[in-house]
Amino acid sequence: MYAVVEVQGKQYRAEKGAVLRVDHMEGEAGTPVAIDSVLLVSGDTIHIGAPYVAGASVQATIKAQEKGDKIIVFKYKSKKDYRRKQGHRQRYTLLTVDEIVGN
């Protein structure tokens, strides 16, 4: 059984025991999270939402808060003495899917 969920505007495939790497969410490790925006639930039958499946949710636990790799943004214009260097590290939250509650 799996479900397709929407977390902060992005879609993820969630299965029991899977670890999802989503954009940063508030909370500490061990905090339970309920995701109610379920787009699809697949089990014995497939339930497709319009846009969400009524009565379906995914129970997850925050596993960790982490940062991604550093990305260097370098702007440059030739012959104009224009150079700008900026770095960025995106923050992520690791979610462990505990249970899929569906129809």
List pLDDT tens digits, range 47-69: 999 999 999 999 999 999 999 99
**Count of domains observed in the chain:** 1
Distance of CA 32 to CAs 40, 54, 59, 86, Å?
21, 21, 7, 35
Residue range 81-95: average pLDDT? 97
Host domain of residue 49: 2-101
Work out the pLDDT band at 103, boundaries 50, 70, 90. Answer: low
Q: What is the pLDDT of residue 59?
A: 97
The pTM score is 0.84
Work out the pLDDT band at 43, boundaries 50, 70, 90. Answer: confident
What letters, b where the CB count within 10 A reaches 16 and e where it falls short, cover 68-86? eeeeeeeeeeeeeeeeeee
